[in-house]
Copies of this chain bind each other. A is one copy, B any other.
């Protein structure tokens, strides 16, 4: 989810002066979130740090939650860049998938402490920060596109029906990794790395087995399921 939360423009600033104020507020928020955590950072403190009034912060950002999206966007961009480096290097599906998932963990590591705090908001289906919300559709699609690259540039051959759904399924798997990571209290979230290291071979084997006649039935079930659940 954290990968996928999109930019909501809020009132697009008209003058360059306004743009300056806007980024001043966003950056003050960043600094304080990083230093103090989400909950312990107050809107008043953000305004003070940015040298504006609290009302002004609300002029640019609809809520405290909205200030988090800048954070998300930065992470998303960083991850996309890191993923690109991985995909230029690796050719096997297994290595590409592992690399992309581990890259996310690398990008996210410095932010683990407060991630849980605003993850709470992302988990609210009604929140614009939810990975399934319309607001985050662009970022979500960008993220699915990365996994499309993971598959497209690889040596993997899978059943045709599965092939179409695979990028989205991998994105879902990544959401699973994120969920696990949020709950991961091991030092430096090493456990999440273990999770990736061990889940990736399983996914690889499952995908390759998908062309086996015995397994075919299950695969069709899964694909049908995903299809049935997508459309309204």
Contact = CB atoms under 8 A, between A and B. Distances in A.
Interface of A: 116-117, 119-121, 123-127, 130, 132, 182-183, 185-186, 191, 194-195, 198-199, 201-202, 205-206, 209, 212, 214-215, 217-218, 221-222, 224-225, 228-229, 232
A124 B117 contact: yes
Nearest to A192: B229
A217 B204 CA distance: 12
Given A116-B125, A209-B218, A215-B209, A194 B229 contact: yes
A171 to B, nearest CB: 15
Copies of this chain, how many? Answer: 2
Top 5 nearest A-B pairs by Cβ distance? A123-B123, A120-B124, A198-B225, A125-B183, A202-B221
A124 B183 CA distance: 9
B199 A225 contact: yes
A195 B124 CA distance: 21
A209 B214 contact: yes
Given A125-B183, A199-B225, 9 more contacts: A116-B124, A117-B126, A194-B228, A198-B225, A198-B228, A202-B221, A205-B218, A206-B218, A214-B214
Contacts of A224: 198
Contacts of A186: 232
Contacts of A124: 116-117, 119-120, 123
Contacts of A199: 225
Nearest to A228: B194
Given A123-B123, A124-B120, A202 B225 contact: yes
13 contacts: A116-B124, A116-B126, A117-B124, A117-B126, A119-B124, A120-B127, A125-B183, A125-B185, A198-B221, A202-B221, A205-B217, A209-B218, A212-B214
A22 to B, nearest CB: 28
A53 to B, nearest CB: 27
B205 A221 contact: yes
Contact of A229 (B119, B191, B215, B217): B191
A176 B34 CA distance: 31
